[in-house]
Amino acid sequence: MATEFKHYRYFRLRGANSSLTTFTSVANAQTLCNLNDTLYNTGNATRTYALADSDQGLKMTMEFATLADQNSFITAATNAWTDSTVMFADGVEVYKHEWLHKDGTISATTNL
């Protein structure tokens, strides 16, 4: 995969009382967030996961082989927001995206 087509997406789970869930492991976070594999497989990204933000966030690293692959995912994600595709479990929030330079340093951060 090419590091110039790599970014991070962060997810968290907010309860009915607005509290954030503290995950016990990456597997626990993946189960509770229930990310839509069909959507997140668009563009054939290599995905890896880690806990973030005091274990209250799930950090997904997405790495694409080409710009076209990355753009196909971005298009699918944009369309999912507009056509109400289920992207993850109820209560899950996407709270940050980080885009990386080729050398792995962060080039841009969007806090949502």
| 89/112 Cα distance (integer angstroms) | 18
Longest Cα–Cα distance in the chain: 42
Domains of the chain, CATH where assigned: 3-111 (3.30.70)
Residue 82 token pair: 């507009």
| 29/21 Cα distance (integer angstroms) | 9
Q: pLDDT truncated to tens, each residue of the chain (112 aa)?
A: 556 789 999 999 999 899 999 999 999 999 999 988 888 889 999 999 999 999 999 999 999 999 899 999 989 888 887 766 678 878 899 899 998 888 888 999 989 8
